[in-house]
Amino acid sequence: MIRFEEVRKSFGGTKALDGLDLVVPEGAFAVLLGGSGAGKSTALRTVNRLVEPDAGRVLLRGRDVASEPAPALRRRIGYVIQGIGLFPHWSVARNIGAVPRLLGWEERRIAARVEELLALLRLDPAAYRDRMPAELSGGQAQRVGVARALAANPDILLMDEPFGALDAITRQALQAEMARLHAATGKTILLVTHDVEEALSLATRLAVMADGRLLQEGAPRELLDAPADPRVRDLLDGGALGMRRLALVAASSLAALCGEAPADLPRVAATATGREALEAMLAARAEAVVLVDPGGAPAGLVALRDLLRA
């Protein structure tokens, strides 16, 4: 879907990208992870030509992005930034419909798409379509920004530190929303972050960068288990390597069947990760948790020894 071939970019005497080679498969939720100055945002912006490489190519489905006029390219690629960038004097509905209107969609089609996206992002259309950006919370505004990026139904969604300015609770809620959205739409998403927890919770493919180069790419668990560079290990470890591994394991994959679940054991959702199951055990000082389905019925039992094996 997206291919970087020996992409180089300098700003003055500083190399932002130094021969970046990377492939983002179609349908992946790919995350570029690295510290400040790693070249993550520069790489992202070469995809929609907000940054033009000095050398190398960026390909979309085998076609060099430089072969297409930049405005036309950008209209078919969704783009979400940290600052949200909503037009303050436009309503939510008008903000979301901006790109479809540029593409010449009929107003009836635009209105239907606005309703669809607000519902998809769990914002009641009747309550939010006519609001102004100043009337929204940070999390609501960020959801509208995502809706605007998806309005013309692009194949690709670029996200540049989209949740960095939000509080921890709102950020976690939106991360979960983006994971759900990706599962529901199957769109190719390329997200930039310096937050290791965010990267591991969202990525189906993880690319770690430093000094404008790719250090390692693969499934998150592969990088955790076999870092190819000391800088990858240092970045992903952070003193919590075991907990980060558990966050990638579904608690249900470790569960044993249970009939009558002991009443004194903590309950967690059947969709919980191994890390969430362990945190529930620690909070309750218990050696097991009961997984429950959406109706509250026991769906399995996970013991501490199961988590240790994982």
What CATH number is attached to the domain comprising 8? 3.40.50.300
* Confidence (pLDDT) at 21: 97
Please choose, from the candidates 244, 197, 174, 181, the residue with its C-alpha nearest in 3D space to the C-alpha of residue 33. 197
Contact of 117 with 150, CB cutoff 8 Å: yes
- State which of 245, 262, 285 marks the end of a domain: 245
How far is residue 239's CA from residue 194's CA, in Å, rounded to a whole number? 16
**Joined tokens for residue 206:** 């993880």
pLDDT tens over the chain, length 310 residues: 899 999 999 999 899 999 999 999 999 999 999 988 999 999 999 999 999 999 999 999 999 999 999 999 998 899 988 766 789 999 999 999 999 999 999 999 999 999 999 998 889 999 999 999 999 988 898 889 889 999 998 989 999 988 877 777 778 888 888 888 899 888 999 999 998 989 998 999 999 999 999 999 999 999 998 999 999 988 888 667 788 888 888 888 888 877 677 788 898 988 888 888 999 989 989 898 989 888 888 888 898 988 888 7
Residues 89 and 211 in one domain: yes
Tally of CB atoms within 10 A around 103: 13
Structure confidence at residue 122 (pLDDT): 86
Neighbours of 307 (CB within 10 A): 20
Among 245, 269, 295, give the residue marking a domain's end: 245
Residue keyed to tokens 């379509």: 129
Q: b/e string for 54-64 if b means 16 or more Cβ within 10 A?
A: eebbbbbeeee
Query: What pLDDT is recorded for position 2?
Result: 96
**Do 25 and 170 have their domain in common?**
yes
Give exposure, 76-98, as e/b (b: 16+ Cβ within 10 Å): bbbbbbbebebeeeebbbbbbbb
- In CATH, what number is assigned to the domain containing residue 253? 3.10.580.10
> Are 227 and 288 in the same domain?
no
Shared domain check, 295 and 199: no
Joined together, the tokens standing for residue 107 give 């107003």
Same domain, 253 and 117: no
Contacts of 195 (CB under 8 A, 6+ apart): 164
36 and 101 co-located in one domain = yes
Q: What is the model's pLDDT at position 118?
A: 92
Q: Are residues 27 and 158 in the same domain?
A: yes
Cβ proximity of 218 and 30 under 8 Å: no
Closest C-alpha to 58, from 152, 178, 156: 156
Can you give the pLDDT at residue 239?
61
Domain shared by 76 and 37, yes or no: yes
Report the C-alpha dihedral over residues 123, 44, 27, 156, rounded to 10 degrees.
60
What does the pLDDT read at residue 308? 85
Q: Is 156 exposed, middle or buried (0-12, 13-18, 19+ CB in 10 A)?
A: buried
**Same domain, yes or no, for 173 and 303?**
no
Same domain, 76 and 222: yes
pLDDT of residue 212: 95
Residues 10 and 144 in one domain: yes
Report the alpha-carbon distance of residue 60 to residue 51 in Å, rounded: 16
Q: With contact defined as beta carbons under 8 Å apart, do 255 and 299 qualify?
A: yes
Quickly list DSSP for 48-117.
TTSS--SEEEEEETTEEGGGS-HHHHHHTEEEEETT----TTS-HHHHHTHHHHHTT--HHHHHHHHHHH
pLDDT of residue 83: 63
* Domain coverage including residue 106: 2-245
* Contact (Cβ atoms closer than 8 angstroms) between residue 229 and residue 215: yes
Residue whose token pair is 């100043």: 134
Among the candidates 226, 245, 264, a domain finishes at 245
User: How many separate domains does the chain show?
Assistant: 2
Residues 227 and 256 in one domain: no
